[in-house]
């Protein structure tokens, strides 16, 4: 399964600035509901991943929801609230405040993530390889680095025999 999950504020950078919190959310979710990470890339305002779930288990939505919820809670613990600009070194950084509607607040929307995420059911080996390559090349596509191996928040090095650095 291939996924894309994005922050509510495009252009923000909290995923890479708080990647340790995202990693912790992924680890806790994997411990609770196992899945294999076939590829993953974290960019400043969105992430792409390829997962394999255990045989007979197709509940990817609960896993993605848990990761997003855990990350949101960790951001709240450090004082981040999406209705306020984040202040770093005395200046607003990485977030444009957007008010949430009362209905979103009632539904428990944390305001950090876009409400939904994109998922694609992988069909065969060629599709799987294309989705993994998409994860690897995404930082290059967005102009963050010139080579996939230069992006520190990717499974590329793990997958190519180097260090894991999700």
In this prediction, residue 82 carries a pLDDT of 66
Q: Is 165 part of any domain?
A: no
Count the domains in the chain: 1
Higher-pLDDT residue of 144, 115: 144
Q: Is 124 part of any domain?
A: yes
Res. 100: pLDDT tops 80: no
Cβ atoms of 131 and 122 closer than 8 Å: yes
Q: Is 164 part of any domain?
A: no
Strands in 13-134 per DSSP E: 36-42, 46-52, 87-88, 91-92, 118-120
Q: Is 38 part of any domain?
A: yes
Higher-pLDDT residue of 80, 25: 25
Q: How much is the average pLDDT of 16-27?
A: 97
User: Can you tell me the distance from the alpha carbon of 109 to that of 101, in angstroms, rounded to the nearest whole number?
Assistant: 10
* pLDDT tens-place string over residues 122-160: 999 999 999 999 999 999 999 999 999 999 999 999 998
Res. 95: pLDDT tops 70: no
Res. 115: pLDDT tops 80: yes
Q: How much is the average pLDDT of 92-119?
A: 61
Angle between helices 60-77 and 19-32 (to 10 degrees): 140
In this prediction, residue 91 carries a pLDDT of 39
Cβ atoms of 100 and 115 closer than 8 Å: no
Q: Is 148 part of any domain?
A: yes
User: Can you tell me the distance from the alpha carbon of 89 to that of 95, in angstroms, rounded to the nearest whole number?
Assistant: 14
Task: Give pTM, 2 decimals.
Answer: 0.82
User: Can you tell me the distance from the alpha carbon of 9 to that of 46, in angstroms, rounded to the nearest whole number?
Assistant: 10
Q: Is 166 part of any domain?
A: no
Full residue range of the structural domain in which residue 72 is found: 2-159
Determine the 3-state secondary structure of 107 from DSSP: coil
Q: Is 47 part of any domain?
A: yes
Res. 104: pLDDT tops 60: no
Q: Which of 112, 114, 153 is nearest to 19 (CA)?
A: 153
Residues 6+ apart with CB under 8 A from 146: 140
Q: Model confidence at 2, in pLDDT bands (50, 70, 90)?
A: very high
Q: How much is the average pLDDT of 24-35?
A: 98
Q: What is the CATH number of the domain that holds 124?
A: 3.30.70.1290
* pLDDT tens-place string over residues 30-87: 999 999 999 999 999 999 999 999 999 999 999 999 999 999 999 988 887 766 544 4
Residue 28's alpha-carbon distances to 19, 88, 135, in angstroms, are 14, 28, 22
Residues in the chain, overall count: 166
């Amino acid at each position: 399964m291939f996924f894309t999950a994005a922050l509510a504020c495009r252009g923000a950078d909290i995923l890479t600035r708080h990647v340790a919190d995202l990693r912790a959310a992924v680890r806790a979710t994997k411990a609770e509901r196992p899945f294999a990470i076939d590829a993953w890339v974290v960019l400043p305002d969105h992430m792409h991943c390829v997962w394999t779930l255990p045989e007979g288990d197709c509940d990817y939505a609960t896993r993605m929801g848990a990761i997003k919820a855990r990350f949101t809670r960790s951001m709240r613990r450090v004082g981040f609230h999406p209705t306020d600009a984040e202040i770093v070194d005395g200046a607003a950084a990485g977030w444009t405040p957007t008010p949430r509607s009362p209905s979103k607040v009632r539904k428990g929307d944390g305001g950090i993530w876009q409400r939904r995420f994109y998922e694609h059911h992988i069909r065969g080996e060629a599709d799987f390889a294309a989705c993994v390559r998409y994860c690897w090349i995404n930082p290059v596509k967005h102009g963050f680095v010139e080579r996939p191996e230069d992006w520190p928040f990717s499974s590329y090095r793990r997958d190519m025999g180097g260090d894991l650095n999700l």
